[in-house]
Each structure stands twice: as structure tokens, then as C-alpha cells.
Amino acid sequence: MARKSKTPKAGGPTPTPDIEDKAKNRRRGLFLAIAALPVLALFYATLLYWSSPHTGGTQLRIDQYITLLRQGRIQSATILETDNRITGKYDRGNYWITVGTRETIFSRLTSAMEDAGVAYKVKQQPLKNLIVPASMLLPALIIVDGLFILFLIMRPGGTDGMGFGKSKAKRLAVGESKITFADVAGVDEAIEELAEVRDYLGSPDKFLAMGAAVPKGILLTGPPGCGKTLLARALAGEANVPFFTISGSDFVEIFVGVGAARIRDFFAVAKTAAPCIVFIDELDAVGRSRTAMAVGGQDEREATLNQLLVEMDGFDAGSGVVVLAATNRPDILDSALLRPGRFDRRVGVDRADVRGREAILKIHSRGKPMSEDVELTGIAKRTVGFSGADLANVVNEAALLAARRGSNQVTNRLLVEAIERVVAGPEKKSRILSPQDRSRIAYHEAGHAVVSTALPGCDRVGKLSIVARGHGGGFTWMVPEGDQVTVTRSQLLDRIASLLGGRAAERLVTGEVSSGATADLEHAVSLARRMIADFGMSTNLGPYIVKPFTDGYQGQIGAGYSERIASEIDAEIQEILGTAEDRATAALVANRGAFERLAVTLIEVETLEDDALDQLLLPISSTGELDSAVTTNA
């Protein structure tokens, strides 16, 4: 039977009696502190007024007073001990003089009064002796009371100073998340794994009968935008248990010990709400691998990670608390965090295949007026390598284009244009090109298209344009035939030759190259380096992978290979690029007629696609003749 949990207030944990008592005490203390502040201020002002001497009559100078004594005009005198004054009566009324604290002046005045025969007395003021300690104590009390008020106002609750150690976790009430597994597509295996957690927390009896325990931790890994956080939100909508969510960066703080305190508070709240699910997004912010060379702020990060390790390993098997985390950088996570017992299960959330992309497009098309000519299957085939976030952006861009152009429906043409905007950026129709630049760009893009068509390892050319998009002067859009899991060395060499096709075309037509091939060169060099360093496709090094050396525990980082290996890598990259450019040039020379017609037509119409483009690319010869030509020239 499913365990039911009380519906909490959205956005925070269910208050316990202990927390409610602390909140009442906090409000009571805040009220008393605010009430005491004006009382202390009034008392201090009264003390300052009372401590100042207040004497009626005429103030006399000391020399005037001595003269009046000699003339016999002084009738009486009273010495005020604390005020350092002499008051009394003379022939014109009351008088007072300030004596000060110097002993010589006081002795002179008393001698003058004795010589004049004036009777005087000393009046003690015992209460005023308390003025000095009270004047020091009251300002301190006022400052402390003010700081205490600020402390109570800024403190959100709990037992830590200023609330720094309070976790920033948000609690989702049951039914608050409107997203369910029906709103997630393209990651069926991940949904199946999370559905098992949902079923266990909802009906644990059948699992317990088999002696099975729910995984303590599930780690979602995969590229950005593939739906890791969306899966967590869907699980929150499906699970009939409390769901806590927090970002890994929320545990990070500049103050030492705060991150560990937040970890403790976060898991303490989770334990009181068990069975529940806690979700930590961007786990790499707090779970980065530790080193033995931690200094400064790294000590605080490692203390936070150590506390996380302790908390995750402290759950007993029947607690019913499941930790769900997501990261797109599992390679930098600490090995102790990934071991069974903490994260028992790792679920990969990768880019969807063509069927998954079509399902994702259908989900994002809900609520949008889609035209009858929309073919989501064709759009899914055009978006090879797109993540779920990219596909959502494509549908949204198409809807924006429809609204901008006054259309009441999203057409298939708008979806295709939205793909182009996502891949290459918006068109820059206002950019005016000179005839020379226009011709150079047309031959450059035509070179890409001809070489890609001539080499079997390249994708089909779907569109050519010399209308500027983003930072490029034109673009060649390749349309893959389908999803590809692996790639061979010959296919990579063909793609590198295709990337250098624009540069080879410029050299063939104008006799020199331009800066327009910079992005192509960067991509080609990166691809050639990955062939050698990552894929082990080097003819000189053989089955050898080059990776940077990292010893996380000892904190040692190095190149991981010698200078000789680095020199051979650079030499082979240059060899691959040189051969690729020769192959691209041979393809252009062998198909010079088709190349010229394609470039001239592109200059006239600016954009070529579909049947018009296919007709121009149809006469291009196969690659067998090209390879023999390159061998002969070599």
C-alpha cells in the first residue's frame, strides 16, 4: 500500500514542532529587542541631560569672585563636589562659578573664603558618581541591541549565524510539478530507470518481498540540453512523495565551513521527510575530484564534498531517501562519490535518435497551430545531432517566424528555416557585398559542395547559400542520411577534404586563398588531431591514444606524452591536411565544368536547394578516378 505524505506548503519543508517553537522564540526575541531600543535610547538621553550641571544665577569669573570676597559682598558658598562648582548668594542674588579639577585653584578659592570670613560647606553628590560607568554601559547596550535586531531580521531561521549554513533547497509539494514522464521523449531507457524509483517509493512491498533495496543514488549524465533536469522535474511530477531540489553551486560559499553546514541541513530536512527524493543539479560544482594540494578556497570545497560523502553513506537501507543528481561532466567527479553505495546507478541521457527526435518535436508542437504540410519525420532527419533543447528552440523559432510574418500557422518551410537559424544564425540581408567578395564566396561554397558530393564519406549537400548568416559570408548545409554511432578513418579523411574544399576552390579560381576559410581550417585541424590523439587512427603512432596525465589524489597534471610524440602528432596532422587539400583540388579539377556551373548559378540566385541543387550536382564523377589522380600526381 502506498505511503501517503502530508501535503506541505510549496517552496519549503514541512514545519516540525521544534522548528515552530524556534520561530516563535525568534519572533518574541525580535519584539523585545525592538521594544528595548527606544527605552535604552531615552534612558541614555535622560542620563546625559541629568549629568550636565544645571545651576541658577549669574556665572562669575574666578577673578570676579575673589574681588567680591575681598569686598565682603559674598554671603554664602556651597561647593558641589561632583559638578566642580561653587554656588551661593551675594548682594545681587545667586551666583555660580566653575572651579575645574585643578587643586591649586580650589585651594586658592577656599583660602580667599576663609580670609573673607565667608562660611562655606561641601555638598556631596553620590548619585552622580554613577554617571561615568552608566555613560559607558548604555551606548554599548544600544549597539548590541541594534546588532541583535539585525541578526534576527536577516536570519531566516535555524541555529546558524546569519542563516549562512541554512540550505537553499526548494521543496515541491505533491502535484506541484505539472511535468510528467509523458512530457519527456527520446530517453526511454532513462525513464524506465526513474520509473522504478517512483514505483519503489510508492509501493515498496513487492520490492521488499524480493529483498531488493532502492538505489541510494542515481546519477544522470549526458551532454547539455538532453533532458537531465527535465527528467528530474518529471519524476517530481510522478512521485507521490516529497521532492527536494537544489543546485550544486548553492552549497558553495566563500566562508569556511558554510558549505558543509548547508549539506548537513539539507540532508537533515530530507531525513525528516522520508520517504522522499532529493535532486542535486550540476553536481560537478560540489563533487569535483579532490587533490592533495588543496589550498585556500579549495579547502572549503573539499570540506563540502567530504560532508556530502558522509551524508550519502550515512543512510540506512530502509530510509527511503533517494539522491538524484545530474551533471554533464562525470569525468571530473570524485571517485569516492561514484562508488556503489553512494551513486549505485548511472543513467546516460544522450542525444535522441531519429525516432526520439520526432517524438520530441511532437511534444514541443503541442499547443502550436501546425500546418498540414508539416512533416516532423523529415524535420527529425534534418536535425541529426540536435539535443532536446535544440529541438525546442527550433519549434519556438518557427513559431516566432510565423508570428513575425503574420501567418496563423507554422509551416514546414518555417521549420526548415528555423533549423538554419539555429545552426548558422539569422540571415543578414542588409550586408552588401562587392562583386569580388560575392564571386569568391560563391566559388568557396561551390567547392564545399562539389568535394562533398565527389567523396563517399561525406554527407549529402542539402542547401547552398551566399546570403550571410551569423559571422559567415555563406554556408553549405550538409544533410546526414541517418544517425551514425561510429565513424571510420576514411570517412573522417573525406570530411576533412570537404572542409578544405572551399579553400582549394579559392586557390584554383583566383590563385590565392582568403581569410574566409579560417573556420574551416580550425574544424579540419581539430578533426585531424582527434583522429590521432583520441581515436588512435595514426599511421605513424599506431594504436596509441594521447591523453593529458592527471593524478587527482597527488595533484599532478602533465602532458602525458613526450616531445617526440608531440612532434610526430604535429607532423601527421600537417600530412593529413596536405593530402586532404590535394584530394579536394583533384575533385574540383576533375569536375571543373560542374563546379563552374554551380558557382555561376549560385551567384545569380544566391540560394540553391532541393531539385535545382540536385540537378547541378548530378554530373559530378565518382571518387575512384580522383584517388588515382592524386596518386599519380604524388
Placement of cell 513487492 in the chain? 206
- The confidence score (pLDDT) of residue 72 equals 80
State the amino acid at position 421 in one-letter form: R
Placement of cell 527550433 in the chain? 394
CATH, domain 53-123, list 3.30.720.210, 3.40.640.10, 3.90.1300.10, 3.30.70.120: 3.30.720.210
Placement of cell 612532434 in the chain? 567
Dihedral class, residue 296 (left if φ above 0, else alpha if ψ from -120 to 50, else beta): left
Q: What percent of the chain has pLDDT over 90?
A: 16
* Per-domain boundaries in the chain: 53-123, 170-348, 354-423, 435-633
Q: Are 113 and 69 in contact (CB under 8 A)?
A: yes
Domain 354-423 has CATH 3.60.15.10: no
Burial, 514: exposed, middle or buried (Cβ in 10 Å; 0-12, 13-18, 19+)?
A: middle
* In the predicted structure, residue 334 carries a pLDDT above the cut 90: no
Instruction: Tell me the CA distances in angstroms from 123 to 54, 79, 82, 92, 580, one per residue in order.
Output: 15, 6, 9, 23, 112
Q: What is the C-alpha to C-alpha distance for residues 355 and 340, in angstroms, rounded to an integer?
A: 33
Geometric angle at alpha carbon 310, from 308 and 314, rounded to 5°: 120
The listed range with the strongest mean pLDDT (126-135, 164-173, 372-381, 499-508) is: 499-508
Q: What is the C-alpha to C-alpha distance for residues 20 and 18, in angstroms, rounded to an integer?
A: 5
Average pLDDT over every residue of 374-402: 89
**What is the pairing mode between strands 475-479 and 276-281?**
unpaired
> What's 517's DSSP letter?
G
- The confidence score (pLDDT) of residue 130 equals 64
Q: Which fold has domain 435-633?
A: Methane Monooxygenase Hydroxylase; Chain G, domain 1 (1.20.58)
For residue 101, the Cα-to-chain-centroid distance in whole angstroms is 68
Placement of cell 591536411 in the chain? 577
* In the predicted structure, residue 477 carries a pLDDT above the cut 80: yes
Longest CA span, the chain: 140
List, in sequence order, every beta strand (DSSP E) within 163-303.
170-172, 217-221, 243-247, 276-281
Q: What is the C-alpha to C-alpha distance for residues 308 and 300, in angstroms, rounded to an integer?
A: 12
For residue 321, the Cα-to-chain-centroid distance in whole angstroms is 26
Cis before residue 340, ω within 30 degrees of 0?
no
In this predicted model, which residue has the larger pLDDT, 153 or 125? 153
Mention every residue, 6+ apart, whose C-beta is less than 8 A from residue 434. Answer: none
pLDDT tens digits, one per residue of 103-128: 667 777 777 887 777 777 777 666 66
Burial, 246: exposed, middle or buried (Cβ in 10 Å; 0-12, 13-18, 19+)?
A: buried
- Catalytic residue positions, numbered: 445
Average pLDDT over every residue of 434-462: 89
Placement of cell 544522470 in the chain? 220
In this predicted model, which residue has the larger pLDDT, 418 or 255? 418
Q: What is the C-alpha to C-alpha distance for residues 598 and 628, in angstroms, rounded to an integer?
A: 25
Burial, 168: exposed, middle or buried (Cβ in 10 Å; 0-12, 13-18, 19+)?
A: middle
Q: Are 164 and 210 in contact (CB under 8 A)?
A: no
Domains 53-123 and 354-423 share a fold: no
State the amino acid at position 15 in one-letter form: P
In this predicted model, which residue has the larger pLDDT, 537 or 171? 537
pLDDT tens digits, one per residue of 616-633: 888 887 654 445 444 433
Q: Are 360 and 314 in contact (CB under 8 A)?
A: no
pLDDT tens digits, one per residue of 288-316: 877 654 444 456 777 888 888 888 876 55
Average pLDDT over every residue of 516-521: 88
Q: What is the C-alpha to C-alpha distance for residues 382 and 392, in angstroms, rounded to an integer?
A: 14
Taking the CB of residue 191, how many other CB atoms lie within 10 A of it? 22
Average pLDDT value for the chain: 79
- The confidence score (pLDDT) of residue 493 equals 94
Closest C-alpha to 379, from 364, 367, 400, 401: 364
Q: What is the C-alpha to C-alpha distance for residues 236 and 173, in angstroms, rounded to an integer?
A: 9
Q: What is the C-alpha to C-alpha distance for residues 155 and 177, in angstroms, rounded to an integer?
A: 29
- The confidence score (pLDDT) of residue 396 equals 92
- Which helix (H) or strand (E) is 33 found in, with range? helix 17-51
DSSP string, 458-469: SPEEEEEE-S-B
* In the predicted structure, residue 524 carries a pLDDT above the cut 90: yes
* In the predicted structure, residue 255 carries a pLDDT above the cut 80: no
Q: Are 112 and 155 in contact (CB under 8 A)?
A: no
Q: Are 337 and 377 in contact (CB under 8 A)?
A: no
- The confidence score (pLDDT) of residue 434 equals 78
- The confidence score (pLDDT) of residue 10 equals 39
List, in sequence order, every beta strand (DSSP E) within 200-355.
217-221, 243-247, 276-281, 321-327, 345-348
**What is the pairing mode between strands 58-59 and 170-172?**
unpaired
Average pLDDT over every residue of 583-590: 93
In this predicted model, which residue has the larger pLDDT, 142 or 573? 573
The answer to whether the Cα torsion of 447, 450, 453, 455 is positive or negative is negative
Instruction: Tell me the CA distances in angstroms from 446 to 450, 509, 600, one per residue in order.
Output: 6, 12, 9
Domain 170-348 has CATH 3.40.50.2300: no
Q: Grid coordinates representing 533?
A: 590523439
Average pLDDT over every residue of 205-213: 78
Report the DSSP beta bridge partners of residue 322: 277
Instruction: Give the 3-state secondary structure of residue 362.
Output: helix
- Count of positions (residues) in the chain: 634
- The confidence score (pLDDT) of residue 547 equals 76
- The confidence score (pLDDT) of residue 625 equals 46
Q: Report the side by side order of strands in the sheet with 321-327.
A: 170-172, 243-247, 276-281, 321-327, 217-221, 345-348
- Where is average pLDDT lowest: 44-53, 407-416, 580-589? 44-53
Average pLDDT over every residue of 329-339: 85
Q: What is the C-alpha to C-alpha distance for residues 334 and 327, in angstroms, rounded to an integer?
A: 13
